[in-house]
Amino acid sequence: MAELALAAPRIRPRLGRDEWLMGGGLLVLALYLAVTLLLPLALMLAKSAQDRDGAFVGLANFARYFGNPALSGTVGNSLWVSALATAITIALAFGYAYALNRSRIPFKGLFRLVAMLPLLAPSLLPAIALVYLFGNQGVLKGWLFGESIYGPIGIVIGSVFWTFPHALILISTALGTADARLYEASESLGASRWRTFTTVTLSGARYGLISALFVVFTLIITDFGVPKVVGGPFNMLATDIYKQVVGQQNFQMGAVVSLLLLLPAVLAFFVERWAQQRQISSLSSRAVPYQPKPRRSRDRLALVLVVTVAVMILGVFGMAAFASLAKLWPYDLSPSLRHYDFSATDGGSWASYGNSIRLGLYTAAFGSLVVFIGAYLVEKTRVAKPLRTATHLLALIPMAVPGMVLGLAYIFFFNAPGNPLNFLYGTMAMLVLATIAHFYTVGHLTALTALKQLDPEFESVSAALKAPFYRTFWRVTTPLCLPAVLDIALYFFINAMTTVSAVVFLYSPDTTLASVAVLNMDDAGDTAPAAAMAMLIVVTCAGVRLLHVGLSRELLNRTQVWRRR
Amino acid sequence: MTTPYLRVRNVTKRFGHFTALDDVSIDIHRGEFVCFLGPSGCGKTTLLRAISGLDIQTHGAVEQDGRDISALPPAQRDFGIVFQSYALFQNLTVAANIAYGLENRKRPKAEIQRRVTELLELIGLPESGPKYPGQLSGGQQQRVALARALAVSPGLLLLDEPLSALDAKVRAHLRDEIKILQRRLGITTIMITHDQEEAISMADRIVVMRGGRIEQIGAPLEIYHRPANLFVAEFIGAMNLLPATRIGYGEIQLGSARLACAAEGYAPGAAVRAAVRPEDIVCTGKTNGHANSLRAEVREMEFMGPFFWLSLGGGELGEHRLRAQLPSQRARDLDLRANDATHLHIPAERIRLFPHGVGHG
Amino acid sequence: MKVATVLGALALAGVALTAQAKTELRVYTAVEADELAKFKQAIEADNPDLDIQWVRDSTGIITAKLLAEKANPQADVVWGLAVTSLKFLADQDYFQAYAPKGVEQLEPKYVDSAKPPRWVGQRAWVAALCFNAVEAEKAKLPQPASWQDLLKPEFKGKVVMPNPSSSGTGFLDVSAWIQMWGEEKAWKFMDGLHENIAQYTHSGSKPCKMAAAGEAPVGISFAYRGAQEKSKGAPVEVIAPSEGVGWDLEAFAIVKGTQKLEAAQQLADWSASRKANEIYNEGYAVVAMPGVAKPVPNYPEGIAEKMIKNDFEWAAKNRETILSEWTKRYDGKSEPKK
């Protein structure tokens, strides 16, 4: 019998229109990701083993990098500064998350909101604010006891500021899913508070903490905004790439540093994936949500911590806003809008702001379209399993690729002589492609999560009803996932507005960007206009965030009547 | 003999090294209601997905209405499908859900309208057209799903555990409705279930599956009363399985009792398993009015409403345990209580024999 | 017949369109951002058919960019770039020699000696110290009068200087010190100065802007920037150190192989004109056309006399060696300075 079955010819499933279209779509997506991601990165790898004239030199560039103590010293710098800043961020974020989830402090919603504010600003903003707060003319200069803000201190404080919400989101999620039954069990076993804290709270949140640890470390070590502004003479890997590429146009050496930067990022990526899976599997569907009981000492401590952090965050924004409006810091503090007239500064003036808005809108529109359709194809295509897996893996790569590395890879790829896509070089289209590729993963995962929440049999039903998949996609899947699609669009917009790292290598005179303008203005010593542009970005992002809230509500009202019972 | 409507021939499905379906063949006739029954992982869902084309088999053929559909994608086959999860389009109204397949066929609007109204009445929800699925109960939603599947008049209706997500009362009710509807429309139907009661009460024929193979195909009565093997015997309904010994033609020894047994086969002296349904055991109390009887004591009595579950042991049963169903009225007549001794009559034709030592599932 | 008429009309329309269309010139420049709008306006007013697209960055970066693009140049014209950089590029055959109209009226030492010249000078920008008097008072710092004054211990951590590998201003300082004092003494001076430096900045303007904002009491920068900050009301003194000040010449050149040679030459003609020189003079005290320059407000007195005898030839030839030596000595300090 078994032999008979084996001898029978294997069935080769015939493909219908849906299968051809979806498989084809998947192939197009895979090619898209290959072109906008894989090929540029591969080319960059190759460049690191070439000299300026393009001859293969093996590891000579690496040898030269490590042979120069001034350059290779930055590896150590980057490591210890990132480690220190990560430790502080995680500690603060844990405390803040603990207060929000496990205490009875008032105004939790407000505190959560304040903690998320740094997401709306480029990482350059806290650095600029730090100059005003703790620089030689800083209002709080005395707090540093004579130490200079230009250097590791500034980098650490600035990094903590902008990575804080990222850590908070991850840790808060981990703490928010606590199982009350464990606390009851621990209490009934007579465990001390401290023991309960270490065995239940910390252990329950450990994967969230590990996840946050690696994510934050990667964010910091690959960030270039903060060290660029307040690093002073203190070199970090990310600023090294910038110096090599922009300052000396030494692209090969930039590629070498990029690869070094890729290492921690790739490691963090795998650890994060591992921790995420553990976190999910440790969640039981029967868990009972934990409701903290009032306890005065804990609640008071939590409030002090939360208020302190919130005040610091608001202080940084307030300082940047104030500096942008002061006529001549520090000698004439009368209010003036003159720093908002960007015509006499580097960076491309108000046109940059317009370009950034355009980049944000294009990225949001085109990016959420590609990401959502892509996630749909990866999740729902019945055929071409290996292609689905490959495409999904491609979509995860950007999370492990620092923006500067991607930007540099884009230069190599799109500016390569003979590349038929060369016409894109220096255009807005290339900035859009780069930004989508840079932030692809989070959008992809968000879309996948939303799609997985839908009934997995919609496509089977629709096939049985002989409805083409695209009809069901348009009439059912997309409307049901609309909130997620809007979230993805917002994520793309805000990141397109605030990012510096990838685009700093890619803008041209016609496509200068606001975030890059902040950098260039600061570079030229125009710190106040830089603060003004940064504030402009913040206000824009906040406005779009509000618009998003309103739009979501309106759309929900109009198209999602079915949600009401 | 008419040719079958659906022929499944030597279908095998492998996922890597794992064989989910192993050389499965079934014929299903036009208008038949067939249930695939088995524990989870038995391959019933895999078989349904092969028939629908949602997950095409690795080997073997599927023919529907004389057409070889083995390799066709689902959209090129002719079936309607209903899932456990309803899979209703939550953002579309009930009417739009039902009309979904019709609109796709470019039928005139008025005709679609008419058909939707007709189906809404058929499922007993004439007023629910403008509502959204979220506003309906689970049972109502599943009826809408059924109407949506039936709207395009498919030749084959596939039901994938359609009742499993519903609570017991609704389930029993909908069970009857589906059956009535199926009879009325005469549509060939395959239903997957792990609930044997559901299968027995609804199906014309049941396909019992285990480990990717078919254990038995037959009408519910046949499956129930003449299980082909130990697995089917145990899986369908309640069954006492007691070790016994064949002692000459037409007799077995069970405990210290000798019982006549109509089952054939097995040489004298062979160790066997005797299978008896609890409802086939007749409790006669202190009187012993039947030839084929044994004595035992009532160990426990569990009141179930219309009947008692009796747990019996001791007496001629010795260490063996037997479960019997005693109608409440008869318990009253006999005034039976726990620890009472009683005679048990087991009709010879109600004892089935299976080889001893065959593990079960 | 009819077809011919239509075609003719179309052809005429086409001619009219091309006549109206502006030629876009991609011009690489290191001129300060706050002057560019003014120049663009003036150039386009006199040459309505030109559309100037500036690509502005620091001297070092523009130079590196031009080098990187050597195989496939993106610029049509290089305009207002340090002549040390232009010479270096000219020696690599980067430029199209061209004698702009009226070039003979310019000071010959500010024009390439080749005939026709590969590059033409515009104006000189001169090093200067920006000194914040208010902060100096607070910190009890004496006003420096010479470069050597900056080595005094009280200036430790108080001086900011541009990084010569990215900033043209930074390079002209280093080049001037070496030319004035010779290699050995100049490097010794820089070693000492390094001890007092708080930060090396990316741009040449930033030290002066930092001085203007009180972030650093002393910024090594250039006279134009100092004068601008002073005019804006910042409490800075612009000082020309007594030993002499380095300077470099801003010059322009046409990139070889440009598709828009005619437009580029038009820009070159304008840039050598009297009118252009008058505009150059608005911020800079020394311009290429003799007899044009008028005193510039807030410039240090006698700065023109303190300008060293600058050997561009030498500076251009030694640029890479000097920069790599400088980078080896002072760049990438792993410890922040107080």
Amino acid present at C74:
Q
Six-digit token pair at B83? Answer: 């899932």
Are residues A475 and B154, on separate chains, in Cβ contact within 8 Å? Answer: no
Q: At what angle do helices A296-325 and A527-559 cross, to 10 degrees?
A: 120
For the stretch B186-230, pLDDT in tens is 999 999 999 999 999 999 999 999 999 999 999 999 999 999 999
pLDDT value at residue A439: 95
pLDDT value at A286 more than 70? no
Confirm or reject contact between C302 and chain A (CB < 8 A): no
Residues of A in contact with C235 (CB under 8 A): 331
pLDDT value at B281 more than 80? yes
Mean pLDDT of C117-125: 95
pLDDT value at residue C17: 47
pLDDT value at residue A38: 95
Choose between A357 and C61: higher pLDDT.
A357
% residues pLDDT > 90 (chain C): 66
- State the average pLDDT for chain C: 88
Lowest mean pLDDT among A167-171, A344-348, B27-31: A344-348
pLDDT value at C15 more than 80? no
Q: At what angle do helices A403-414 and A206-222 cross, to 10 degrees?
A: 50
pLDDT value at residue B215: 95
Lowest mean pLDDT among A102-106, A235-239, A347-351: A347-351
pLDDT value at C331 more than 90? no
Are residues B89 and A476, on separate chains, in Cβ contact within 8 Å? Answer: yes
CB atoms within 10 A of CB B245: 16
pLDDT value at residue A561: 63
Mean pLDDT of A274-287: 65
Q: Do chains A and B touch (3 or more CB pairs under 8 A)?
A: yes
Categorize the per-residue pLDDT at B65 as very low, low, confident or very high, splitting at 50, 70 and 90.
very high
pLDDT value at C335 more than 50? no
Mean pLDDT of A253-268: 86
pLDDT value at residue C1: 44
For chain B, how big is the Rg over CA atoms in Å?
A: 25
**In chain B, which among 193-212 make CB contacts under 8 A with chain A?**
none
Categorize the per-residue pLDDT at C334 as very low, low, confident or very high, splitting at 50, 70 and 90.
very low
For residue B193, the cross-strand partners are B37
What is this model's ipTM?
0.84
Choose between B190 and C305: higher pLDDT.
B190
pLDDT value at residue A564: 55
Q: Which of A233, A247, A509 sits opposite C60 (nearest CB)?
A: A247
E strand or H helix at B337: none
Confirm or reject contact between C327 and chain A (CB < 8 A): yes
pLDDT value at residue C162: 94
- The Cα-based distances of A378 to A375, A396, A451 in angstroms read 5, 12, 10
Which residue's structure tokens are 């150590």? A76
pLDDT value at B307 more than 90? yes
Six-digit token pair at B282? Answer: 């007749």
pLDDT value at C11 more than 70? no
Contact A488, A371 (CB under 8 A): yes
Confirm or reject contact between A16 and chain B (CB < 8 A): yes
Query: A157, A331, A520: which to substitute to probe chain C, counting the most C Cβ within 10 Å?
Result: A331
- State the average pLDDT for chain A: 88
pLDDT value at C248 more than 50? yes
**Phi (first) and psi of residue A447, to 5 degrees:** -65, -40
Confirm or reject contact between A509 and chain B (CB < 8 A): no
Q: Do chains A and C touch (3 or more CB pairs under 8 A)?
A: yes
**In chain A, which among 261-320 make CB contacts under 8 A with chain C?**
none
Nearest to B156 by CA among B44, B88, B65, B266: B65
Order of strands, sheet of B257-260, starting from the edge strand that comes earlier in the sequence = B257-260, B251-254, B240-246, B271-276, B352-355
pLDDT value at B360 more than 50? no
pLDDT value at A22 more than 70? yes
Mean pLDDT of C147-154: 95
Q: Which of A251, A343, A509 sits opposite C37 (nearest CB)?
A: A343
pLDDT value at residue C333: 46
pLDDT value at C108 more than 80? yes
Mean pLDDT of B244-258: 87
% residues pLDDT > 70 (chain C): 92
Residues of A in contact with C55 (CB under 8 A): 508-509
Lowest mean pLDDT among A180-184, B292-296, B340-344: A180-184
pLDDT value at residue A393: 92
Choose between C166 and B1: higher pLDDT.
C166
Nearest to C110 by CA among C127, C128, C125: C125
pLDDT value at residue C5: 54
Return the CATH fold of A15-47+339-565. MetI-like fold (1.10.3720)
Which domains are seen in chain C, by residue range? 2-124+249-287 (3.40.190.10), 126-247+302-333 (3.40.190.10)
Are residues B81 and A464, on separate chains, in Cβ contact within 8 Å? Answer: yes
Contact A86, A215 (CB under 8 A): no
pLDDT value at residue C338: 29
Are residues A247 and C56, on separate chains, in Cβ contact within 8 Å? Answer: no
Q: Which of B72, B87, B104 sits opposite A471 (nearest CB)?
A: B104
Choose between B219 and C4: higher pLDDT.
B219
pLDDT value at residue A563: 61
Q: Do chains B and C touch (3 or more CB pairs under 8 A)?
A: no
Amino acid present at A139:
V
Are residues A150 and C199, on separate chains, in Cβ contact within 8 Å? Answer: yes
Mean pLDDT of A271-292: 69
For the stretch B80-111, pLDDT in tens is 999 999 999 999 999 999 999 998 888 899 99
Choose between B146 and A73: higher pLDDT.
B146
Which residue's structure tokens are 């270096």? C88
pLDDT value at A60 more than 70? yes
Six-digit token pair at B271? Answer: 């160790």
For the stretch A489-525, pLDDT in tens is 999 999 999 999 889 888 887 899 999 999 989 988 8
Mean pLDDT of A540-547: 95
pLDDT value at A205 more than 70? yes
Confirm or reject contact between A244 and chain C (CB < 8 A): no
Residues of A in contact with B70 (CB under 8 A): 11
For the stretch A338-395, pLDDT in tens is 999 988 788 778 999 999 999 999 999 999 999 999 999 999 998 888 999 999 999 9
Mean pLDDT of A30-46: 94
Q: Look up the pTM and report it.
A: 0.87
